[in-house]
Chain A
């Protein structure tokens, strides 16, 4: 099973700041999914990236997939308190329906 490493583990910033979180693996991803999980809720899918070098934008969130498909980043511009949550990356394990998750980055945006 591929190991997904996320960094940083924790991040606390002020409203209006920019931030980037990372997801890395020693193996090539077939595709990669990013989720946000709020306290007391299940993860919610934000985006799926498939092609090396791909960039996807979702309002203030920019997702990038590395050219070699071994890493991905999530950049948030002008963070807001509503962005607070646990950001998880995950891969659908090849040949199965099994999602493999990283440990996540816990983001706190202070007003």
Chain B
């Protein structure tokens, strides 16, 4: 069956540019999560959606980061004015309902030159 998919798998950009990362959750999953994993670290929570609304965005590092989920399915993580420190693997996860098992996608590796 189809799992969580993320596109692109790799993204290379230049400092100061804008990027969008897409997440397609498992069909029917109402909860969606974004995490960031830097080299040698475990995933770090960024934001959680329940349906279309961001229920917890406490992990977003600053106002350059923004995420949307307009129809309660696909989500896009948007990063403005990228910095070299934004380089990491961005992971998306979904669960059938809040508190359920989180299923992770393969991630998007972002490299900011």
List the interface of chain A (C-beta within 8 A of B). Answer: 4, 40-45, 88, 90, 92, 96-104
Find out whether the CB atom of A103 lies under 8 angstroms from the CB atom of B42: yes
Which of B42, B55, B56, B104 is most buried by chain A, counting CB atoms within 10 A of its CB?
B42
Find out whether the CB atom of B106 lies under 8 angstroms from the CB atom of A41: yes
Find out whether the CB atom of A43 lies under 8 angstroms from the CB atom of B104: yes
Residue B4 lies at the interface, judged by CB distance under 8 Å to chain A: yes
A108 to chain B, nearest CB (A): 15
- A-B interface pairs (CB < 8 A), number: 53
Q: A97-B31, A97-B99 are in contact. Are A103 and B41 (CB under 8 A)?
A: yes
Find out whether the CB atom of A104 lies under 8 angstroms from the CB atom of B104: no
Find out whether the CB atom of A88 lies under 8 angstroms from the CB atom of B59: no
User: What 3 A-B pairs have minimum CB-CB distances, sorted nearest first?
Assistant: A42-B104, A101-B42, A98-B45
B102 to chain A, nearest CB (A): 7
With both beta carbons as reference points, the residue of chain A lying nearest to B107 in the complex is identified as A42
Q: How far is the CA of A39 from the CA of B55 in the complex (A)?
A: 30
Q: Which residues of B contact A98 (CB under 8 A)?
A: 45, 48, 56, 58-59
Which of A98, A101, A103 is most buried by chain B, counting CB atoms within 10 A of its CB?
A98
Given A40-B106, A43-B43, A97-B48, 6 more pairs with CB closer than 8 A:
A42-B91, A44-B104, A88-B42, A96-B48, A97-B31, A97-B98
Residue B1 lies at the interface, judged by CB distance under 8 Å to chain A: no
B69 to chain A, nearest CB (A): 14
Which of B35, B59, B99 is most buried by chain A, counting CB atoms within 10 A of its CB?
B35
